[in-house]
Amino acid sequence: MAQIARKRAAHFANFQDEGDDADENIHAGGDQARTLGPWSSAMELVNAREKAQHERQAKLQAAAGTEQEGEAEADAAAEWRPSRDPALGPHPRDPVKPLFGHCLDVLTAYIDCVESLWGVPDAIKVRLAAHVCARRKMSPEAARLFATSAPTEVLVPDCTQLDAPAMADLLREVTGPSLQRLELGFCGRGFGDDAAALVVAVAGGPLAELESLTLDGAYRLSDAGLIKLLSAAPALRRLSLAQGSRFTSALLDKLPELVPQLTHLNLADCRGLGAESLAAALPRLQQLRSVRLDLIPEVDDGVLVALATKLPHLTELSLRCCQAVTDAGLRALAASGRGPHLELLRIDECGGRVTDAGLAALASQCRALKVFSARRCTKLGDEALAELLRAGGCCTHLCLSGVAGVGPAVAAALAGSCRGSLEELDVSFCRKLPDRCLGLVLERCAKLRRLAVFGCSQLSAASLYGHTNAALVIEGMHTKVDLDLGLAQKRAAAVAGGGEGQDGEEDAKERQAAAGADKEDGGGEGDAEGNGEEERGGGAAGGSGGAAAAGREEQKGSPEGKEAARRGKKAGAQGKKAAAAVGEANAASTGRKRRAAGDAAGAGAGPARPRGKVGKKGAAAAPVDEALEAAKEAPPQEEWF
């Protein structure tokens, strides 16, 4: 061991790597001899620590650079305060309903008694039909009222009460060369292949004016019946076939030939259509601007790519509940030529395959989005959504219900970039959205008319009632908001009641002081009277003393004694009179001094309040506004935030 230690010491003292062979190198490190040992390990740790620190600082600087854009909005949200007293509750609504609304209500209530709508314009008939369907009163008899006089527009949103004979009667009346718009909702009970053939037969030729056809819920209508009907409407531009369970790919193959001018197509919930047929047939409709493929499970990225790359006029796309769509499809949509022109995009409930990466692609290209809906897209984050909103800055309708990542960044983007365009907002079940941030959005977005906040228990009356947008309609108000508002109003009432109680105590104290002053005045008068009595007693005593002396002199019997007795009696009588006069004068002077002192004390204490019943009437006549102002100025026991 000693010999090995000497060799190692010599090796470290005179190290020459060039002349040493690997076998003669005593150090186990070989060529890495200088990199092993405590000093080398320590230096390696120091260098690694410095490198990691530099990388960390670079990462922080990069993150700070990305956050600089939203700092101004975040600061504004932190400094936001309600511009209106939240204790006032909701904004008052105009109780006067428009006359047209009252007329619709009356006609709807007595629609069974109406004999004819002859002469009523078609635009008003459309509004009335929608009103009647909303009240579930569209019976076969009521439907005939809207079919007379050869209307150009027939809209019946709810045909559930119309069976096949009633539907046939309606179609016979409305079918004609002047018909431009036929929209029947929930028409599956009465509209089938026979009804389609009836329309073609009654028309007796092409329906040259028909531009819009809606047959939602026609579960009895097949491809053959619809193809026969579409062959009679070559000018059709809008077609809605939602929930058509019997439609197949054969219909899609013939659509470009039957309706080449089609601009709006709704195939929502048509489960018989495959992804391949959609990708092959829809691009042939070169005039399409709006496509709805909601609730079709087969729709995937291939369909999305075909629509984005081959439809030159596409501006609206709805893919709700299409869970096969992923970020790749969104990137293809954004990269296509239609990305910058896209105005409406709905990707509700597309599962967890749509993430921030897809939104980043949309934000880079889709800068014209006005309507965006991503309901229950749980993988979307706050910053990615905010970047999408800031990219365009023209969003009018935004639905982010059930997106847990919505937070301050989205609110800052809305308050900053979309403040002049936002009209409807749905942030239901977005519990990470702070109360202050939403209050800033409601205050700045002056055009906002509808807000949905279902399930947002973190919001308070400060944001929902503390804004100045009186035209805003809020839906889904949490019960906790009204409870908190009720507690605040009770506290305000308690503060106002406490102020009135203090005024009553002050009145009682002043009444006691006034009573004490009266007692003092009475005591002063008594003292003055006592002093007068004493003085009168002194005078009487002097008079009696003089009379006694006169009596003693009279008892001597001399003439001088008699004269002295007479003078003594006269002097005694005069003394009694003088003493009585002096006593009365002193009593009056003392009473005046006491009253003057009491008046001076009352003037120094402040103006005297009326006592007794007069004081109660004065307290009751105090303005009610003073109590309200006191309630508003009183600090709440709990902060809103």
Q: 327-361 pLDDT, tens per residue?
A: 999 999 999 888 899 999 999 999 889 999 999 99
Q: Tell me whether residue 245 is exposed, middle or buried, using C-beta atoms within 10 angstroms of its C-beta: 0 to 12, 13 to 18, 19 or more.
A: middle
Residue 626 has pLDDT above 50, yes or no: no
Residue 326: name the closest of 357, 295, 287 by CA.
Answer: 357
Q: Is 619 helix (H, G, I), strand (E, B) or coil?
A: helix
Range name among 102-106, 338-342, 393-397, 581-585 with the lowest pLDDT average: 581-585
Q: Is 93 helix (H, G, I), strand (E, B) or coil?
A: coil
The confidence score (pLDDT) of residue 328 equals: 94
| Rounded average pLDDT over 106-121 | 93
Helix (H) or strand (E) run with residue 65 in it = helix 38-67
Q: Can you point out the beta strands (E) in 4-122?
A: none
The confidence score (pLDDT) of residue 160 equals: 95
> CA dihedral in degrees (242, 248, 252, 258; nearest 10)?
-80
The confidence score (pLDDT) of residue 583 equals: 55
Please enumerate, as own/partner, the contacts of 65-70 that have beta carbons within 8 Å and a separation of 24 or more.
Answer: 66/383, 69/390, 70/386, 70/409, 70/412, 70/413, 70/416
Condensed to tens digits (0 to 9), the pLDDT of residues 493-530 reads 766 665 544 444 555 555 555 555 444 444 444 444 44
The number of residues in the chain equals 641
Q: Is 181 helix (H, G, I), strand (E, B) or coil?
A: strand
More confident residue, 38 or 63: 38
Most confident of 70-74, 457-461, 480-484: 457-461
Alpha helices in 135-240 (DSSP H): 140-145, 164-174, 193-203, 223-230
Q: What angle do CA 359, 362, 365 make, to 5 degrees?
A: 155
Range name among 189-198, 260-269, 580-589 with the lowest pLDDT average: 580-589
Residue 385's alpha-carbon distances to 373, 404, 410, 445, in angstroms, are 11, 12, 6, 18
The confidence score (pLDDT) of residue 87 equals: 85
**CA-only gyration radius of the chain, Å:** 50
Q: Which residue has the tokens 């889709």?
A: 366
Band of pLDDT at residue 68, cut at 50, 70 and 90? low
Condensed to tens digits (0 to 9), the pLDDT of residues 149-193 reads 889 999 999 999 999 999 999 999 999 989 999 999 999 999 999
Q: How far apart, in whole angstroms, are the C-alpha atoms of residue 25 and residue 615?
A: 114
Residue 488 has pLDDT above 70, yes or no: no
Q: How far apart, in whole angstroms, are the C-alpha atoms of residue 402 and residue 509?
A: 62
Q: Residues near 2 by Cβ (< 8 Å), separated by ≥ 6?
A: none
Most confident of 70-84, 465-479, 489-503: 465-479
End-to-end Cα spacing for the chain: 76
Q: Which two tokens stand for residue 42?
A: 């320590």
Q: Which two tokens stand for residue 55?
A: 């990388």
Helix-strand-coil percent breakdown of the chain, rounded to 5?
55, 5, 35
Most confident of 215-229, 559-573, 589-603: 215-229
Would you say 321 and 294 are in contact if contact means Cβ atoms under 8 Å apart?
Answer: yes
Chain-centroid distance of CA 113 in Å reads 43
The confidence score (pLDDT) of residue 414 equals: 95
Sign of CA dihedral 143, 149, 150, 152: negative
Taking residue 184's Cβ as centre, other Cβ atoms within 10 Å add up to 26
Alpha helices in 204-350 (DSSP H): 223-230, 249-258, 275-281, 301-310, 327-335
Residue 22 has pLDDT above 50, yes or no: no
Q: How far apart, in whole angstroms, are the C-alpha atoms of residue 352 and residue 333?
A: 18
Band of pLDDT at residue 316, cut at 50, 70 and 90? very high
The topology (CATH level 3) of 99-247 is: 3.80.10
Residue 437: name the closest of 80, 127, 27 by CA.
Answer: 80
**Pairing, β 290-292 against β 264-266:** parallel
Q: How far apart, in whole angstroms, are the C-alpha atoms of residue 337 and residue 218?
A: 35
The confidence score (pLDDT) of residue 128 equals: 96
Query: Crossing angle for the helix pair 223-230 and 193-203, nearest 10 degrees?
Result: 20
Q: Give the max Cα distance, the chain.
A: 176
| Rounded average pLDDT over 414-431 | 95
48-59 burial, b if ≥16 CB within 10 A, otherwise e?
eeeeeeeeeeee
Would you say 414 and 422 are in contact if contact means Cβ atoms under 8 Å apart?
Answer: yes
The neighbouring-strand residues paired with 426 are: 399, 452
The neighbouring-strand residues paired with 399 are: 373, 426
Q: Which residue has the tokens 């009168």?
A: 536
| Rounded average pLDDT over 29-40 | 58
Would you say 252 and 281 are in contact if contact means Cβ atoms under 8 Å apart?
Answer: yes
Residue 183: name the closest of 148, 220, 146 by CA.
Answer: 146
| Rounded average pLDDT over 36-49 | 81
Would you say 431 and 404 are in contact if contact means Cβ atoms under 8 Å apart?
Answer: yes
| Rounded average pLDDT over 218-236 | 95
Q: Which two tokens stand for residue 629?
A: 């102002």
Residue 29 has pLDDT above 50, yes or no: no
The confidence score (pLDDT) of residue 520 equals: 46
Would you say 417 and 444 are in contact if contact means Cβ atoms under 8 Å apart?
Answer: no
Q: Which two tokens stand for residue 166?
A: 């009633």
Residue 638's alpha-carbon distances to 11, 459, 634, 635, in angstroms, are 78, 15, 12, 9
Residue 319 has pLDDT above 70, yes or no: yes
More confident residue, 77 or 349: 349
Would you say 284 and 258 are in contact if contact means Cβ atoms under 8 Å apart?
Answer: no
The confidence score (pLDDT) of residue 495 equals: 66
| Rounded average pLDDT over 308-319 | 94
Condensed to tens digits (0 to 9), the pLDDT of residues 552-567 reads 444 444 555 556 556 6
Would you say 364 and 390 are in contact if contact means Cβ atoms under 8 Å apart?
Answer: no
Q: How many CA atoms lie within 13 A of 363 on its CB side?
A: 17
Q: How far apart, in whole angstroms, are the C-alpha atoms of residue 37 and residue 497?
A: 83
Residue 597 has pLDDT above 70, yes or no: no
What is the amino acid identity at position 510? E
Would you say 418 and 443 are in contact if contact means Cβ atoms under 8 Å apart?
Answer: no
Sign of CA dihedral 265, 268, 269, 274: positive
The confidence score (pLDDT) of residue 106 equals: 95
Q: How far apart, in whole angstroms, are the C-alpha atoms of residue 502 and residue 404?
A: 51
The neighbouring-strand residues paired with 182 are: 154, 213
More confident residue, 413 or 550: 413
The confidence score (pLDDT) of residue 612 equals: 42
Q: How far apart, in whole angstroms, are the C-alpha atoms of residue 582 and residue 257?
A: 135
| Percent of the chain surpassing pLDDT 70 | 67
Band of pLDDT at residue 11, cut at 50, 70 and 90? low
Mean confidence (pLDDT) of the chain: 79
